[in-house]
Amino acid sequence: PVANATITPSPPAHQVRAGDNVTLRCSVQVGSAPVTFTWLHNGHEVAWGPLLKIGAVDVEHSGTYQCVASNQLGQDGHRVFRAPSSELTLEVTPRSSWVTVATGIGGALLFLLLLVGVIVAWHRWHRV
């Protein structure tokens, strides 16, 4: 029977920023194949398989995650074994609006700097 289901998050921090990509891997230390994996988010089934990939996480992805590994033994397959992992709490923090503003200002300044460079180069070229 399956036993010792564990979740390994990548990146390893339990606190991530909105927009980050998160992958959760479920594995078992004991269990004969085939082992199936079910993912729960806040107690509700959300996915199946050993990997749960969440691209561009948002605050709504915050909460508890748990994987349940299961397999069947016996020729009739009537004996089903389940091994739930410990719950992993994921906290998604929103991106700071200052980061967005700073990025916009930085882009505008870079554009102006390039524009000034082009104007200076154009004037120097036309003087010759």
* Per-residue pLDDT tens digits for 33-42: 899 999 999 9
Percent over 70 (pLDDT), the chain: 90
* Per-residue pLDDT tens digits for 4-35: 999 999 988 778 999 999 999 999 998 888 99
Q: Which residues pair with 3 in a beta bridge?
A: 30
Q: Cα dist. 60→19, 90, 114 in Å?
A: 12, 10, 40
Judge residue 63's burial from the number of C-beta atoms within 10 Å of its C-beta, 0-12 exposed, 13-18 middle, 19 or more buried: middle
* Per-residue pLDDT tens digits for 38-82: 999 999 999 999 999 999 999 999 999 999 999 987 666 678 899
Whether the model clears a pTM of 0.75, i.e. scores above it, the answer is: no
- List, in order of start, the domains of the chain with CATH numbers: 3-96 (2.60.40.10)
